[in-house]
Structure 1
């Protein structure tokens, strides 16, 4: 005895849907997916090359291409770990000669680093503005330390006339004997002076500032071997000695935006 069962319309529709072939993705969907895969592969590969110790593999995309892609948004390193962890603090201090009541007055030093660090201390969402001075200071001192004594003496001179950067380069060129290149230092000198200019403008006013001077220092932490010694002291800071400079600004900079952010924080931490 055979029995026959009838299939409900709902079951038939479901079976038909399962059996029907899926539509192929359109060409533009494939293109987007392919581009996303390439971008992911590039980002992972670039991050690996950037973080890993230097090797010839970096020269496949070239160091310049890597740096252009990774900085400033994706920059990272293992410098908090051995064998060469970060073991010191950089500070960037600024003072100025300002015109007040018809007289030129030399101000005291202001720590731009302390002002910026106060933006990120105890802040779960720290702004990038809180680390600018430390990065500028690090670059300047690293470049300064590669100069010889004669070149460092030039850096310590005052350059307060128009075109002072050209005069500084000419002073370097007039030194006798084989000398280390000053090209990298001049780039850091320009950046440091431009940053010091903005700090001075923010604190004392752009109309009042006549000259600026910056001072970069680095102080190491207590040596690892003395970490358990309660009387251990941090080593004395080292300084890069620079003279007075004529203020400079980059095209497109907004001194108003910088001043609004920096001055507000500067006034907030004043005693």
Structure 2
């Protein structure tokens, strides 16, 4: 006697399991391909940044350096021996007279806000990175250009008021002092950025409408390793001070509100 199961499929008709296996195989292949692409992409970026001289580094630097970067000056023989910080000073008017603030160490304020935090935000190195980049561009100028940019960039108008120097006229004046024009353009762009930053930060810090700003870079060389516990310093701090700049435009209300929050977060006031 032959027993048949009720509803058994006819010969040659699939129940669906082979199709499910094929679908699962396709998904696994796609997942493996995506994983491989991610690993290869990460390896490419890692190699580009960790090899000191890589032909691919400039191509990926702009896109990835805010999130993934490596500075080789933490290793010998080119270890960084000087700590640098950005300090700003601002001026505002009271009863028509210019008032001058004390120097404010922006880098120290940012570092203080991150102390004791295992994974601090990269924004806590904002002014430190700016000081390093600005100084590098400054050092690429000729000696005469470096002397000039440490002076003021403010001009007097026909009605006796003060205004920022015209960018094109300033560029031509500095270009006549020799040096690389491309290096000069790179420096002036960063200088303009620092004007905007110092104006916004200083205005929020002192709660004033800032009319002029200037900055200096402090160079602090710690004692050598064998003298690390000595109270007496082996070398005094030094400064590279730049002249007064007048912002072409005041920070917008939106920017001012952002920096008000930054100052409140950093200083608690």
Name the SS of the counterpart of 2:74 in structure 1: coil
Q: Take 1:264 and 1:69, find their aligned partners in 2: how far apart are those partners?
A: 28
After TM superposition, the score normalised by the length of structure 2 is 0.77
CA distance 1:234–1:149, change in 2 (3 Å): same
Q: How does 1:66-81 map to 2 (within 5 A)?
A: 66-81=60-75
Classify the secondary structure of the residue corresponding to 1:217: strand
Cα distance in structure 2, aligned partners of 1:169 and 1:212: 20
Using the TM superposition, give the Cα deviation of residue 27 of structure 1 relative to its aligned residue in structure 2, in angstroms: 5.1
Select which of 181, 188, 191 maps to 1:189.
191
SS in structure 2 at match of 1:105: strand
Distance of aligned partners of 1:229 and 1:124 in 2 relative to their CA distance in 1, 3 Å threshold: closer
Divergent runs of 4+, >6 A: 249-253
Q: 1:88 aligns with which of 82, 92, 95?
A: 82
Alignment of 1:207-246 (within 5 A): 208-224=209-225, 226-227=226-227, 230=230, 233-246=233-246
SS in 1 for 2:189: helix
C-alpha displacement at 1:46, in angstroms? Answer: 1.7
Query: Which residue of structure 2 aligns with residue 142 of structure 1?
Result: 136
TM-score computed with the length of structure 1 as normaliser: 0.76
Deviates more, 1:85-94 or 1:71-80: 71-80
2:92 alignment partner, SS class: strand
Task: Determine if contact 1:119/1:127 at 8 Å carries over to the other structure.
Answer: no
Q: Which residue of structure 2 lines up, in the alignment, with residue 174 of structure 1?
A: 176
Q: Distance in 1 between matches of 2:252 and 2:61?
A: 23
Provide, for residues 108-141 of structure 1, a one-character-per-residue CA deviation record: whole Å limited to 9, x for no partner.
Answer: 1111112111111122342223211111111111
Aligned to 1:117: 111
Whether the 8 Å contact between 2:87 and 2:104 is mirrored in structure 1 is yes
Mapped to 2, the partners of 1:25 and 1:252 lie a distance apart of: 55
Q: Say if 2:262 is the partner of 1:258.
A: no
Flag the 1:100–1:28 CA change in 2: closer, same or farther, 3 A. Answer: farther
